[in-house]
Amino acid sequence: MEELKDIVVGLEQRISVYKARLQDLEKKRGRLDDEIATIKKYLELAETLHRVEADKAKLATLSTHAAGDEKGARPPQVAEVPDQSREILLGRSKFVGMSVPEAAFVILRDARRSMHAKEILQRLLEGGIRIKGKTPLTSVATSLKRDPRFKKVGPNTFETQDVKLTEAV
């Protein structure tokens, strides 16, 4: 009878482990799905920008040849890519519409390691976040200290709470 209880307990533990592992994998799949969707958007924007720039180059070539052939001939129109699309492709508006903690969470999750607030600030600025205040570094560090998604692991060094990250480099 005791042996049967041990088997049941062992199976319950195994089920618990499998459920936890499944939950972790589903979270990872969700993050991957989000990343795939983002990459698809960037790819579409890059392909559009490439077509427009290639058309502009062809147009420039044609207009120099046409200027010698026909006076007053109108070159064909080329579609313009909005400035926002250019900014996205250049990575300068990756975090538009996000709060500092939201963007910092993305940065730390993608880096998969703890980071100093100075490095996080640099990536936020590169991603299009504008930090208000006289001391942006202090503003970033303070907002991360107040957010439960982050854990302070050193002086102005943070990691996300959901996944244990490696030490700061």
User: Do 75 and 18 sit in the same domain of this protein?
Assistant: yes
Q: Which of 85, 108, 138 is the last residue of a domain?
A: 85
d(CA 157, CA 129): 19
d(CA 119, CA 125): 10
| CATH code assigned at 100 | 1.10.10
User: Do 7 and 76 sit in the same domain of this protein?
Assistant: yes
d(CA 123, CA 109): 13
| pLDDT for res 169 | 42
| pLDDT for res 165 | 45
Q: What domain count does the chain have? A: 2
Residues of the chain with pLDDT under 50: 78, 164-169
Residue 72 placed within a domain: yes
d(CA 102, CA 110): 12
User: Do 74 and 20 sit in the same domain of this protein?
Assistant: yes
pLDDT digits (tens, 9 = 90+) for 124-151: 988 888 888 889 999 999 999 999 999 9
Domain extent for 74: 2-85
Reading the block at residue 22, the tokens are 């499944």
| pLDDT for res 168 | 44
Q: Which candidate, 3, 2, 84, 88, places its Cα nearest to that of 38?
A: 88
| pLDDT for res 87 | 53
User: Do 136 and 67 sit in the same domain of this protein?
Assistant: no
| pLDDT for res 88 | 53
| pLDDT for res 71 | 54
| pLDDT for res 41 | 81
pTM above 0.85? no
User: Do 95 and 43 sit in the same domain of this protein?
Assistant: no
